[in-house]
């Protein structure tokens, strides 16, 4: 991690992480958490694994929050308060429906990314008066940037990357893609669909989340063939 000037949120300086750093950090967090809870590191992480992970690091987690007043598409919020642990709110329309379980898990993992990566830098900016205590202390996260965001939107990019790294760790993704490649004999035109399906099933994520993760890790069938 290095500190670079923040051109987006007025924090003065902000952390910059290389993708590999985030992969290593979040795989370590997820595996320690699983080992503590279950005595073994086995994926997928359950929704329960994720809520307990967040609860260990926040003052409050509410997965039935009403976020409608924050605008259309807002599905998660991490609120920071200097001197206290953050608070995470997840939109109730994810927590109340089994059909949205994968999106709930994605949102939980994304907000954990904010909690782990951004608490200290935002607390510091509030304490130093660079961020407004009330307005600047809350990150609101929309559905469209939950998995990936442009790199200049660094808070969302980092939390989106963390989300993939927690749910689909790089080491296991590489192994899965390599095993899949040795066994795949279908046409190239169906390969991405098939691999996305394998990842989605293995790690209990949406096909969209699986596809994003395969692309960022350069593990798509096209990339594997090079
Ligand atoms: Zn976010």
Lowest model confidence (mean pLDDT) among 34-38, 45-49, 78-82: 78-82
Q: Ligand 1: distance of its center to the CA of 145 in Å?
A: 7
CB atoms within 10 A of CB 185: 5
Band (74; pLDDT cuts 50, 70, 90): very high
- pTM for the predicted model, two decimal places: 0.94
Q: Ligand 1: distance of its center to the CA of 164 in Å?
A: 13
Q: Ligand 1: distance of its center to the CA of 36 in Å?
A: 27
Q: Ligand 1: distance of its center to the CA of 156 in Å?
A: 5
Beta bridge partners of 13: 5
Task: Give the pLDDT mean for 195-206.
Answer: 96
In the chain, alpha helices (H) = 19-38, 47-55, 92-95, 101-127, 154-167, 170-183, 188-203, 207-216, 221-225
Q: Ligand 1: distance of its center to the CA of 140 in Å?
A: 6
pLDDT tens digits for range 158-174: 999 999 999 999 999 99
Residue with tokens 């991690």, as numbered in its chain: 1
Q: Ligand 1: distance of its center to the CA of 37 in Å?
A: 26
């Amino acid at each position: 991690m290095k500190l670079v000037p923040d051109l987006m949120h007025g924090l003065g300086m902000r952390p910059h992480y290389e993708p590999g750093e985030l992969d290593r950090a979040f795989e370590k967090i997820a595996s320690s958490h699983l080992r503590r809870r279950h005595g073994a590191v086995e994926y997928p992480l359950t929704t329960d694994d994720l809520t307990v992970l967040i609860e260990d690091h926040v003052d409050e987690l509410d997965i039935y929050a009403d976020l409608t007043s924050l605008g259309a598409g807002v599905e998660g919020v991490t609120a920071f308060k200097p001197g206290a642990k953050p608070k995470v709110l997840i939109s109730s329309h994810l927590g109340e429906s089994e059909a949205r379980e994968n999106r709930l898990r994605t949102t939980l993992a994304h907000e954990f990314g904010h909690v782990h990566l951004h608490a200290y830098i935002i607390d510091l900016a509030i304490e130093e008066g660079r961020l407004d205590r009330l307005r600047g202390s809350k990150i609101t996260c929309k559905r469209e940037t939950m998995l990936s965001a442009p790199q200049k939107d660094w808070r969302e990019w980092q939390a989106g990357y963390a989300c993939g790294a927690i749910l689909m760790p790089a080491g296991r993704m590489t192994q899965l893609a390599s095993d899949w490649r040795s066994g795949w004999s279908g046409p190239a035109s169906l390969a991405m669909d098939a691999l996305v399906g394998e990842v989605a099933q293995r790690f209990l994520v949406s096909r969209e989340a699986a596809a994003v993760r395969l692309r960022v890790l350069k593990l798509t069938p096209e990339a594997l063939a090079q």
